[in-house]
Chain A
C-alpha cells in the first residue's frame, strides 16, 4: 500500500472522529459532511470490496490456445457484412468491414482486416504456389514460394482501402455506423520484396509500359498497372503484421501498391506480364471505373485521395455519461494515397469553422495517421467533422465540393468529409451537410 492511500485513510478516519465528536447532532453538519467527505455517501463498488472469480481460481494452462485468441469478452469485435454489399446475399463475392470503432493505434489485427472477394476466399497450397514473371523482360522466370522469399525483404506500414469505401453514401447517409461508413479499409505492416529488386535481376525492356497482375483464385482477378508505379514503390508481399498473409488477404502472396486501390493489389498472385498496351480487365472496365455526371467514366483511377474520419465519438461509441464542463478527446484516423498526412482540421459546427487538431503516433506515408483534439463538453448538440491535408497539398473536399465535380453515381473514390451529429443525449448519428437542388 502506498503512502498516499495510507494518508487518505488516516484523514478519512480523523474526519470521521471529528464528526462523531462535534457535529453529529447538527443538521447542517450532515450537509457539511456531504461536501467534505462525499466518498462516505457513495455505495461501495462490489468489484473492489470482494475478491474476483479470476483472482480466487486457477487460470487456464498457459498454452491452452497454441495460437492465441482474444479475450472471450471481446466476441463482438468482429468484421461485419451486409447482404446489400453482395449479389443476392451470396457471400462468395462480397465485402466485410473492419470494426474501426474498436481499433486503437494504426495496426489492424489480421483477424479484423477488411475482406473483399470476387469468388470466395481461396485456399492456395503453398507447396503448389508458383509465380511467373514474363513478357517484356530480358529473362522470364518462375518462382516457388521458397525461392520468392529468398529475395531480401522490406516492411512497410500501409493502408489498404477498397475504393468503394463509403460508396453507399453518394446520395445521402444510409448506415448509422462507423464500421459501415468507412470500414472497407485496414492498416498493417506488410513484408515482402520490392518489385524493382526482382526486375533489376530480370532486366525490364524499355518498351514495357504496363504490367498485368493476375490472381489464381476462381475469379482470376487481374488488373493493369503502369510500370512507373511498379518501379517506384510496388512490392510483392507474403507477410502481414509479422505472420503469413491470411487467406482473406491473399495467402500466400499478394501485390502491394502503396496508396492505390486495394483491388489493384492482386491477391493469390500467380502471374505478372509486362507489355506495351493495357489489358482491359473486367475489374478496370465493368467495375472500378468512376461514372461522372458527364456520362463518361474515369478509368485507371489509382490513388485513394486524402481522407479522414472521426473514430471517437462515433455512432457505435456515443458520448454517454459525460459531465458538462469536462474535457474529452475527439480522435480519428487520416490517410492519403498521394503521400503523407500533414494536417487535420476539426469542425464542431458542421463545417462553418475549423480548428487544427494534432497528429499523434507515427506519421508515415500512405498509412493511417492518428489525430487528436481535446474538447470541452458543454452538453449542446454538435456537428463534428474532420478534414485532412497531405504533403501533395490536397485538401479533403466537402460533400458538395466532391459532388459538384463527380455527381452522385461514381460509386468509387468517395473521400468527402464525414459529419457526425451529436445530440443532446450524447448519441451520435451519421448525417451529411450538403447542398442539393431538388425541385420542391
Chain B
C-alpha cells in the first residue's frame, strides 16, 4: 500500500517534471527543427510516429525511362524571373490591345479595370496595400498585376499556360509578348524609364529589364543561396506569422461580442439538415414514343395478365414478331382480338402507333 502510493507520487512528480521540461511535447518523440517551424519525427527501425513501414532496401528500383530531348523541350516550358524559358518573339502594345479586347475584356473589364467579377488586372497602387478595412467605410488594398505581383515572368507564363480561360494554351509567342506589353502599359509600368506607348514592341531582352513596382513587397526573401535559410529564420519565430496564442486558463479577460451584420445566405444547395425522401426529379430521358406508350398502352401491356404480350417479355414478342413488323403495325392500328384499334387511343396517328410499336419491340429484345 505504502509502496503503491509512493509510486503514484513519484510518477506524478515525474509527469510534472516532464510537463515543465517538454511543455506541449506530444506522443511521437518529435524535434522542433522543421523548415516551417514545426516538428519532424524520427523514422527508424520500421516505425515513424503511429505508422510502421517496410525497412527493406528500396534503392536501385530503376522504374520508368529517361525522357527524350523532344519530350523535355515539350514540357519544360516554365518561365523564371531571370528570363529562363522566355520564348523568342515580339509583340506591340497596340496588337496586345486588340487581342485583349477580343479575348480578355469580357471577363477582366476594359483596360484590365475589372468590374466583371473576374480578377482586376490594372490600377491600384503599392501605397494602397497598406489599407486595412478595420472599420466600416475604409478603402480596401488593391491587389492587381500592376500593384501587387512581384515578377513579370509570372504573368507571361500564366497567360501562356492558363489563358484564355475557356481554351488555354492557344496564344502564339508573339501574342504573349503583345498581351504582356499591353498589360504593362495599362499599369503604366516603364522599361528603362521608357513609357510603353501603342507602338512599343516588347521582346525577350526588354522583358528581362522589367522591375515590377511591388518587387520588394514580399518576405521572407527567398532568392539566392540564402533563400531557404531566410525561410527557416522566418518560421522560427511564430510572432512573424501570427501563431501567438497564450494558454491562459483563468480570468483571461473579456472582449466585446461581434455578431453577424449581413449574413451571407446565398449558398448552393440551400442549407438543410432534414432527413426525408428527396423530391423525385423528372428523368427527362424518356422518348416521345415511351411517353405515348405510358399514356395509352401501359395499362394492358405492362404484364400479360390481360392477354396482351407484356413489354420486356422476350419470348412473347419474338412470337408476335414472327408475323413481320408490317403485320404487327397493321394489327396495332386496326385492332386484334381483345385489343381495340390503336388500343383505343384514336387520337394517335398511324405513324405514332408505329413508333410506339417500335419502342415496345425494342424494349422486349
Contacts and interface: CB of A to CB of B under 8 A. Distances in A.
B58 A432 contact: no
- By CB atoms of chain A within 10 A, which of B58, B224, B249, B266 has the most? B58
B interface: dominant SS: loop
B145 to A, nearest CB: 7
A303 B235 contact: yes
B154 interface: yes
Interface string B212-232: 000001111011100110010
A280 B143 CA distance: 16
Interface in B106-160: 107, 116-119, 126-127, 129-136, 140-141, 143, 145, 148-151, 153-154, 157-158
Given A80-B268, A316-B273, A438-B134, A432 B231 contact: no
Given A405-B244, A435-B256, A177 B39 contact: no
A268 interface: no
Question: Counting chain A CB atoms within 10 Å of each CB, which of B75, B165, B241, B277 scores highest?
Answer: B241
Given A140-B66, A286-B148, A408-B133, A76 B249 contact: no
A155 B224 CA distance: 35
A277 interface: yes
B38 A259 contact: yes
Interface in B260-301: 260-264, 266-269, 271-278
Contact of B63 (A76, A151, A271, A401): A151
Contact of A391 (B39, B252, B273): B39
Interface in A391-440: 391-398, 400-402, 405-409, 413, 415, 417, 419, 421, 429-439
A339 B26 contact: yes
A285 B154 contact: yes
A132 B75 contact: yes
Contact of B273 (A101, A180, A306): A101
B305 interface: no
A305 B243 contact: yes
Interface string A61-83: 00000000000111110101111
A417 B146 CA distance: 35
A267 B116 CA distance: 28
B228 A151 contact: no
Given A73-B276, A151-B61, A352-B253, A438 B136 contact: yes
Contacts of B37: 303, 338, 392
B67 A140 contact: yes
Contacts of B169: 220
A355 B346 CA distance: 80
A239 B62 CA distance: 23
Interface string B185-219: 00000000000000000000000000000000111
A407 B244 contact: no
Contacts of B102: none
Contact of A393 (B32, B50, B250): B32
B2 interface: no
B154 A281 contact: yes
Contacts, number: 398
B211 to A, nearest CB: 14
A187 B25 CA distance: 23
A142 B249 contact: no
Nearest to A224: B222
Contact of B58 (A152, A219, A363): A152
Nearest to A317: B273
B254 A352 contact: yes
A300 B51 contact: no
Contacts of B172: none
B264 A154 contact: no
Contacts of B6: none
Contacts of B276: 73
A394 B149 CA distance: 31
Nearest to B152: A280
A142 to B, nearest CB: 5
B103 interface: no
A260 interface: yes
B244 A402 contact: yes
Interface string B9-36: 0000000000000011111101010111
Given A74-B275, A277-B82, A392 B67 contact: no
Given A171-B133, A302-B36, A432 B41 contact: no
A132 B28 contact: no
B251 A299 contact: no
Contacts of A143: 63-64
A358 interface: no
Q: Which 6 A-B pairs have the closest CB atoms?
A: A88-B117, A338-B38, A391-B26, A395-B245, A339-B39, A295-B130
Given A295-B217, A337-B38, 7 more contacts: A141-B64, A218-B162, A281-B157, A297-B129, A338-B36, A350-B255, A394-B243
